[in-house]
Amino acid sequence: MASHSRFSSQRRVALPGSTRQPFELDAGTGITGKAKVLDATETISTSVIVYPKEPLDQSRLGRPDYRLTQSEFVKRHGPHPDALSLIEAFAEEFDLQINKPRHAGPCTLHLTGTLAALQHAFGVSLSMRELNGEHYRVREGDIQLPEELSGHIVAVLGLDNRPQARTHFRIATPHASNISYTPVQVAQLYGFPASASGAGQTVGLIELGGGFRQSDLNTYFNKLGLPAPVPTVVSVDSGTNSPGTASGADGEVMLDIEVSAAVAPGTNIAMYFAPNTDQGFVDAISTAVHDTVNKPTVISISWGGPESSWTAQAMTALDSACQAAAALGVTIIVACGDNGSTDGVAGTANHVDFPASSPHVLACGGTTLKSNGSTIASEVVWNETAIGEGATGGGVSTVFALPSWQANSHVPSSTTSSGGRGVPDVAGDADPSTGYSVEVDGEALVIGGTSAVAPLWAGLIALANAQNKTSAGFVNPTLYESTNVKAFRDITQGNNGAFSAGPGWDACSGLGSPNGALIIQSLAKGLGT
């Protein structure tokens, strides 16, 4: 360790939002006692997110006159120089290596060192615990920073590597009444423009596990009579394209690719593979948002977890990445979960899924869609909990305040003074019993879940970007305008447990499912084109 002790001698203060609750309070998580001895000599890399030179003007996000290039963003909203100089001195004192990860957000730094050095630097005690048969590195309590660093760091991620998110897809259980559609058929039912192309656009897909095989994509798209996409793989925090089995995360990965690329043929697909940790999730989104090589204008996310399962620092960091996307003209679309109004949390309280609850993403709920030939015969809120087959997420955030563009949507009151953002914003076919025919690991499967709705909308936004010749960016303010009500098919029947559908926006189907051509026109008007 360096001989000087500038930071070592300072009083320690808790990093706001870094609290991890004691394990005994995490009932039902499968966590057991200490199972392995921590190897203090192991080297890991943490993501330290620092405050920018100046914050974004959140009130202007989504306006066509407030859109930055990557270089403008870095110049205005890059890391504060005081934070950088402090982190450099801090890293040197505690024998940590500091580097700027490729592509990642300008305010993200990687500090790498041994577990012993990192525990000393951040005032934490790490241990190895068993969670659902796997061993993970975990911490409890707060991250303790030297007083001089207080107010300069947003988040320190990567000390704890427990799984953060879950997939939001469901494989259909065979029933005589089941029906299924190809993504192309779903797009036709929703009025996506015939013969439209996403050529020139790139959809970014965030994946926290699993993988794809190009041979499966070739087989699937050959059946559809469409050219098969050849996804570009971007590794984040050593994440890899690691195909396994259809019942694992491969179902998520293949669903995302096949739906988005089938409804927007010609679209490029960029895959951001990262570990399933809060660090991996945040770094993946930030990497995609600031990727100057692949340049996705739409990012689809089908992973998430209840707000209550996140630390406040991780939510702040991830939402900051979504704000950056809005400023850069990148649309982020997120599935809102498949476990109804409780979001799968034990007990009777209602919960919403994050990052769907971020006010800077388009959150997608689910419906049950039945057709009569080429037209929609009926569409109601997806809720099959009576037979154990899930229901759309939705409700009211306890973390994020009601956005101004949702002020006239009659969102139910939050249970906390800080919350209020209503979820979802939009909807689409998600019921596995009216699901999507896909190909996963050599198997023809029918899959549903709100995981299907996010790439469906991502494909629609890609088509809009191609047709309107500019990226739609942060679409929520535009879509919520009263003049665009006809761009949606209002879902007025069904519920997700605590919340029922009705005329206009509701906390289980949002504004409704898309009338594709009118959505594209609405986005063009929002851009002033």
Domain layout of the chain by residue ranges: 12-157, 178-246+254-275+282-526
Q: Is 21 exposed, middle or buried (0-12, 13-18, 19+ CB in 10 A)?
A: exposed
Longest CA–CA span in the chain (Å) reads 77
pLDDT at 193: 96
pLDDT tens digits for 118-170? 999 999 999 988 877 788 999 999 999 999 999 999 999 999 999 999 999 99
Q: Which candidate, 510, 143, 106, 166, places its Cα nearest to that of 320?
A: 106
Q: What is the CA radius of gyration of the chain?
A: 22
Q: In the chain, pLDDT over 90 holds for what percent of residues?
A: 88
Sign of torsion, CA 380 383 387 390? positive
For residue 54, count CB atoms less than 10 angstroms from its CB and return exposed for 0-12, middle for 13-18, buried for 19 or more. Answer: exposed
User: What pLDDT shows up at residue 36?
Assistant: 73
Nearest to 231 by CA among 210, 257, 262, 192: 257
User: Which SS3 state, helix, strand or coil, does residue 108 take?
Assistant: strand
| pLDDT for the residue numbered 346 | 85
pTM for the predicted model, two decimal places? 0.96
Give Cβ neighbours of residue 228 (< 8 Å, ≥ 6 apart): 214, 217, 218, 220, 221, 222
Question: Which range among 16-30, 226-240, 510-524 shows the weakest confidence by mean pLDDT?
Answer: 16-30
Planar angle of CA 413, 418, 419, nearest 5 degrees: 45
Whole-number mean pLDDT of the chain?
Answer: 94
Q: What percent of the chain has pLDDT over 70?
A: 96
Q: Over the stretch 418-442, which tens digit does the pLDDT of each residue have? A: 999 999 999 999 999 999 999 999 9
* pLDDT reported for residue 133: 79
pLDDT at 24 exceeding the cut of 60: no
pLDDT of 27 > 70? The answer is: no
pLDDT reading at 1 higher than 60: no
pLDDT tier for residue 37 given thresholds of 50, 70 and 90: confident
In CATH, what class is 178-246+254-275+282-526? alpha beta
Return phi, psi of residue 122, to 5°.
-105, 10
pLDDT band per the 50, 70, 90 thresholds, residue 3? very low
Cα 415 to Cα 84, 327, 420, distances in angstroms = 38, 30, 8
Residues in the chain: 529
**Amino acid letter, 307:** E
On whether the CB atoms of residues 382 and 391 are closer than 8 A, the answer is yes
Return d(Cα 69, Cα 80) in angstroms, integer: 19
- Residue 226: pLDDT above 70? yes
Could you tell me the pLDDT band of residue 196, with boundaries at 50, 70 and 90?
very high
Active-site positions? 252, 256, 451
Q: What is the pLDDT of residues 56-85, one digit of tens each?
A: 999 999 998 999 999 999 999 999 999 999
Average pLDDT score over residue span 227-248:
94
Report the sign of the C-alpha dihedral through residues 6, 11, 15, 21, in that order: positive
